[in-house]
Amino acid sequence: MSAPLLSLTDVQVSFNTAAGTVRAVNGVSLDLAAGETLGLVGESGCGKSTLGKAILKLVPVSGGAIRIDGVDIAPLSGAELGALRRKVQMIFQDPYGALNPRSTVGRTIAQPMMIAGWKKDAITARVDTLLGWVGLPQDARQRYPHEFSGGQRQRIGIARALALSPRLIVCDEPVSALDVSVRAQVINLLEDLKAEFGVSYLFISHDLSVVEHIADRVAVMYLGTIAEVGGRDQIWHTPQHPYTKALLEAAPIADPKAARARQRTVLSGELPSPLEPPTGCPFHSRCPIAQDRCRKEKPLLRTVANGAQAACHFV
């Protein structure tokens, strides 16, 4: 097998606050292959977005290693960091806050190319091409973000992310702020771009239905750690970790009769604070099958029967 495009090894991200040290990401190890879409799911506050920002060095890493094309990004700065960001781009969650209201759409999309030193004629042609790829008219380049809908603004953000032909795009909740009909359009656009250009996605979302549609593999995150990772169908049809099962059972379904008939695992207690994560398994305080070993010993990700990996002593 070829080396992964993105490799995370025991990645840790901590923030010092007045209340103490917040362990937002607490030992995450993942690989993402070229041309793959890896969905990253979990409850709000579990560290998904922080991990995505760490991959682009938008937040500092406290420990572990992040490698892109086999290169450790930790020591990169200046021109080397700029070269990295040509390979890896980000689509932000908020299409309203992610665009400069004082900058025209054309200049917003052109900015990565300007920083990279492209010539003016090449930039102009590329902006026109990008607008066409994301389904916006060429006259959009002279207009400002407030003249566009939320879905159109997210298309502008996608065009900006594609400007330098990156190999990996970190999609941080890219459709959560959009209406349902617009979500489908943006998801279809991302899939079309992947098929045409072979771009890889780390797709961060709490919307399981969207992840089920777009992801090749899925990683389930809980309290800064990975609970389970595997193929999309493996995760959806034969989940191994108790948290994954509870998360899938909590997802709404459109059929009221089926919703009433299905069995659900109701988790007890509240999500622990990342200021004071539990000893042992991070999930033991809410887990329906927890035993004494879970309170003392942290489980490691290990391969289980269906080919997935799960961090549970009693899979």
Per-residue pLDDT of the chain (315 residues; tens, 9 = 90+): 568 999 999 999 999 988 889 999 999 999 999 999 999 999 888 999 999 999 999 999 999 999 999 999 988 888 888 888 889 999 998 888 999 999 999 999 999 999 989 999 999 999 999 999 898 998 999 999 999 998 899 999 999 999 999 999 999 998 887 788 788 888 998 999 899 889 999 999 988 889 999 999 999 999 999 999 999 999 999 999 999 999 998 877 766 776 666 677 777 777 888 888 899 999 999 998 999 999 999 999 999 877 789 999 998
pTM of the model: 0.92
* 2 to 12, 34, 280: CA distances (angstroms): 26, 9, 34
DSSP string across 149-194: -HHHHHHHHHHHHHTT--SEEEEESTTTTS-HHHHHHHHHHHHHHH
Q: Which long-range contacts (CB under 8 A, 24 or more apart) does 113-122 make?
A: 113/163, 113/164, 115/82, 116/82, 116/86, 116/164
The secondary structure of residue 21, as a DSSP letter, is E
